[in-house]
Amino acid sequence: MRCEDIMKHKVEALTPRDTVQSAARRMRDLNTGFLPVCNSEGRVLGTLTDRDIAIRLVAENKSASLAVESVMSTEVIACRPNDDVRRAAELMGKHRKSRLLVMDDGKLVGVISLSDIAHHDAKNAAQAMSQVTLREARA
């Protein structure tokens, strides 16, 4: 099975100039804790998670009117639409991420979550989950 077969195709994205407050509201309204950050050409610049907001904004007592670019994560972990789902699970485990961007020629085309993989491939999802959760076990 390929990544494009299980990825979420309709993906909301932020711009780097959006405020963190507006990003948090979009997360609330979309019931998600993760949004990609893209430039005007659709190229991925990073991601913003609810954890980024908690650690880099709230814990540091910064203003929610700051631009997303000031608190986003710039590390981009991605796969390609035609990659095998096992590759996505490998990347999640290796980088300890529960969500993965799907990019084609540098542009965002979808998102895969660990739950998407679990729904289609329980064995690989269990292995990836074991690796992803190591980050919590160390804390």
pLDDT in tens, 7-32: 999 999 999 999 999 999 999 999 99
Helix (H) or strand (E) holding 121: none
Q: Are 114 and 129 in contact (CB under 8 A)?
A: yes
- Strand pairing class (44-49; 34-38): antiparallel
Tell me: pLDDT of 130 over 80.
Answer: no
Binned at pLDDT 50, 70 and 90, residue 136 comes out as low
d(CA 111, CA 125): 15
CA–CA–CA angle 24, 81, 132 (5° rounding):
55
CATH for 23:
3.10.580.10
Mean pLDDT of 99-114: 92
The domain tally of the chain equals 1
Name the residue range of residue 120's domain.
3-138
